[in-house]
Structure 1
Amino acid sequence: MYFLLIGLVGLALKYLEIGPVAAWSWWVVLSPFALAVVWWAWADASGYTKQREIDKMARRKQERIDKQRDAMGMLSKRRK
């Protein structure tokens, strides 16, 4: 995501010819977009994004379980 934001800022600065970015090559300005594509390809191929999603769902599930146990007056294993 950061590569995409850097690329958008660089693109805007190059297009509007602001600061030293105006003198940079288009290859340099557009390179963060290529890096974003490489990052997303690696993250999907390695399972990084899937593992983060699984961890997020497991955390939500545990929070629901803890909330239900608290509502029933039972102490969760984490709070003992």
Structure 2
Amino acid sequence: MFFLFIGVIGILLKYLEIGPVATLDWWMVLAPFGLAVIWWWWADSSGYTKKKEMEKMDKRKQERIDKQRDAMGMLKKRK
């Protein structure tokens, strides 16, 4: 997401000819989009995305269990 944000800002600055970005070549301005594609490819192929998804699901599951235990009075209150 960071690369996309940088890419959009770069395109706006290049199109409006603001600052030093106006003198850059278009391929340099569009490079963050290529980096975003490479990042997504790597994250999917390495299992990084799936790992983060599983961690999020486990956290939500544990929060749900804790909430139910607290409602039943089974959760120890922490000092």
Give 1:16-31 correspondences, 5 Å limit. Answer: 16-31=16-31
Segments of 4+ moved more than 4 angstroms = none
Which residue of 1 is the match for residue 13 of structure 2?
13
Identity %: 71
How many pairs were matched up?
77
In the alignment, the residues of structure 2 paired with residue 20 and residue 73 of structure 1 have an alpha-carbon distance, to the nearest angstrom, of 62
TM norm structure 1: 0.92
Unpaired stretches in structure 1, ≥5 consecutive residues: none
Unpaired stretches in structure 2, ≥5 consecutive residues: none
In the alignment, the residues of structure 2 paired with residue 50 and residue 21 of structure 1 have an alpha-carbon distance, to the nearest angstrom, of 36
Deviation sequence 1:17-58 (CA, Å, 0-9, x none): 111100001111000000000000000000101110000000
TM norm structure 2: 0.93
Supply the RMSD in Å over aligned alpha carbons. 1.0
Which residue of 1 is the match for residue 3 of structure 2?
3
